[in-house]
Amino acid sequence: MSAKKQLDYSNDPNRENLDLIVRKKAPFNAEPRPNDLVKSYITTEKYFFCRNHGPIPDLDETKHTVSIQGIGCKEQTIELTMQDLKMNYEKISVMMVMQCAGNRRDGLHKVKHTKGVIWGPAALGNAIYSGCRLRDVLATIGVTTEIPNMSKLHVAFESVEQCEEDKCYGSSIPLAKALDPFGDVLLAYEMNYKPLSRDHGFPLRVVVPGYIGARSVKYLKTITIQDYESMSFFQRRDYKILPEQVTDEKQAETYWCKIPSIGEYNVQSYVCDPADGIHTKKDKEAQIAVQGYALSGGGRSIQRVDVSGNDGKSWVVAELYQPGSDGGNCRFYGWCLWYAKVNVKPGVRIVSRAVDSSGNVQQEYPVWNFRGVMNNSWRTVEPNAAAEQAHI
């Protein structure tokens, strides 16, 4: 029997209170309907996507510990309890978008087969996470920006749960991101001012603002400072943008080690209301209200969102809602909800195109890659048309 079949999902949490479309039952992967997603600026648990790679652990907070080791640590291994993290370090809150790199994979999958859970456009949510700063915890054990070769070091995280692809979930981020005073990397124990739920990482998870969700390791067990990236499947053999010519697993083999792993996500937006982006009133051109989300990685805020009801021939500028953003370029980690009134013909898909504070614009056509990650094209065209237009 393969390891995959031996994983036991019978103790997964009760999910009665969630209102999500299930993309995969076990491990549990689900996302909300697009119009539910933009109902509130802070995404409630009910509508918050879940991305898991194995059975959900059932941990006892009073017994759970995290161990820290590696380069620069003044002791060989430091073991911290949840109590230590809550009592000895300042508690801060950070609003940020958790977005899976596979968000909108369906758009690429329409072009050509991709490997992964076929997500629609709602594999993201905007939450307020609270906990202690990773940099504060690292400082107490001797790891600060004074460390030699800081730019060559990584912080690797490991979880407790066995996954389909690896013995546990693991990932890493550059030490420079972890130590950046504006990086806001947290060891979080709360989401929206409540203890993390089991699905979202109870009792402790990493949150890495501005980075793809894959780096925000849930059920955190170990932290290691090392001079190489995490050896985990999820860092080395997944979450990479493979070149277009790589179309299967075998070809991917020779490429994984040549391609960098994804850190920050790219500029993104989507029309969420109307839910399918299409005005359906019988053959009447009309002006309708349209809503959606926009976001960018690395702390970049949104500068502008254009919306079109005639396939990109003309655009209207949307009204933006991203409280707390000053138009800045390095420390806004929440998303932007936007609103516009556009003239649309029935049956034409309404599209949006965001520009971030660095002037990055969404791509017009999907750029297909085997893992179906980082799809941010503003066109959401049909399979054949997309293939033709993207010259794939």
Ligand X SMILES: Nc1nc2c(c(=O)[nH]1)N[C@H]1C(S)=C(S)[C@@H](COP(=O)(O)O)O[C@H]1N2
**Binding stretches for Mo ion (CB under 5 A):** 51, 100, 213-214
Structure tokens at 329: 């370029």
Q: Assess 189 for contact with ligand X (CB under 6 A).
A: no
Residue 375 is a binding residue for ligand X (CB under 6 A): no
The binding track of 49-88 with respect to ligand X, each residue x by CB under 6 A or -, is xxxxx-----------------------------------
Q: Which is nearer to Mo ion, 179 or 374 (CB)?
A: 374
The answer to whether 110 contacts ligand X (rule: CB under 6 A) is: no
State yes or no: residue 240 binds ligand X (CB under 6 A): no
Instruction: Tell me the number of residues near ligand X by CB under 6 A.
Output: 17
Q: Does 213 bind ligand X (CB under 6 A)?
A: yes
**How many residues appear in the chain?**
392
Pick what 49 binds: Mo ion, ligand X, none; C-beta below 5 to 8 Å, kind-dependent: ligand X
| C-beta separation of 75 from 141 below 8 A | yes
Measured CA angle at 178 (ends 167, 336), to 5 deg? 95
Of 29 and 362, the one with the shorter C-beta distance to Mo ion is 29
For residue 262, state whether it binds ligand X (rule: CB under 6 A).
no
Cα 103–292–48 angle (5° rounding)? 50
Question: Does residue 129 interact with ligand X by CB under 6 A?
Answer: no
- Alpha-carbon gap, residue 47 to 19, rounded angstroms: 6
Report in angstroms how near the CB of residue 55 gets to ligand X at its nearest.
10
Measured CA to CA, the distance from residue 5 to residue 353 in angstroms comes to 42
Q: Which is nearer to Mo ion, 80 or 374 (CB)?
A: 374
Task: Confirm or reject binding of residue 233 to ligand X (CB under 6 A).
Answer: no
Task: Give the nearer residue to Mo ion in terms of CB position, either 98 or 111.
Answer: 98
Separation in Å, CA 326 to CA 9, 53, 356: 45, 37, 13
Can you say whether the dihedral through the CA atoms of 233, 176, 188, 73 is positive or negative? positive
Per-residue contact flags (x/-) with ligand X for residues 148 to 187, judged by CB under 6 A = -----------x-x-------x------------------
Task: Please tell me the distance from the alpha carbon of residue 266 to that of residue 312, in angstroms, as a whole number.
Answer: 21
Positions in the binding site for ligand X (CB under 6 A): 49-53, 98, 100, 159, 161, 169, 200, 213-214, 216-219
